[in-house]
Amino acid sequence: MVNAAPRTITFVSRNPGKAREVAAVLAPFGIRVRWRRRELAEPQASSLAEVVRAKLAAVQDVPGRVLVEDSGLFIPSLHGFPGVYSAHFLEVWGFGPMLELLQRRERRAYFRTVAGVRHGRRIATFSGEVHGSIASRPRGRGGFGYDPIFIPTGWKQTFAEVPAAEKDTISHRARAIRKVGEFLARSRPDR
């Protein structure tokens, strides 16, 4: 896609799975990803975009182009829950309580990612979504997070049951990160 010299961006996250996914999605754009493992505080916020802005503010010490993201699983029958609290809910409770809550409710769900890029004082955000449903039980050993219980629309398998490259063709994060790649490919190296 890009024939210029490779560009570099620093992806700040604690999650090695996300780092691998981001690097794979940005590679075709000629963008090299450096992963900086760091726990970033996630403020109580009403939107993923607010969380991303807070994360970008927390990485002011990282030089050059910096990328952060926040993702959430939104279930309409649970009024959008867990949403911005997805990571915390999964860490504390796991899948059990959610699957129990959904026994007699509509299982439709969607994943949403907001990715934020900072270079100097410039900030740009990009989003991606994928719709699907929640499986009745966890399936598969791949992926991370909610991948074992999320079945994308039109698929019979969960994200955890398919190879990462297949997941990257439609995932919420990949969709947002491809927009980052397009943006970076269009921008001048010094901008």
Query: What token pair was written down for 163?
Result: 């190879």
Model confidence over 100-153: pLDDT tens digits?
Answer: 999 999 999 999 999 999 998 899 999 999 999 999 999 999 988 999 999 999
Which residue of the set 61, 70, 147, 190 is catalytic? 70
* pTM summary value: 0.91
70 is catalytic: yes
- Domains of the chain by residue range: 7-186
Supply angle C-alpha 128, 87, 98, rounded to 5: 100
CATH 3.90.950.10 fits domain 7-186: yes
Residue 74 to residue 48: CA distance in whole angstroms: 11
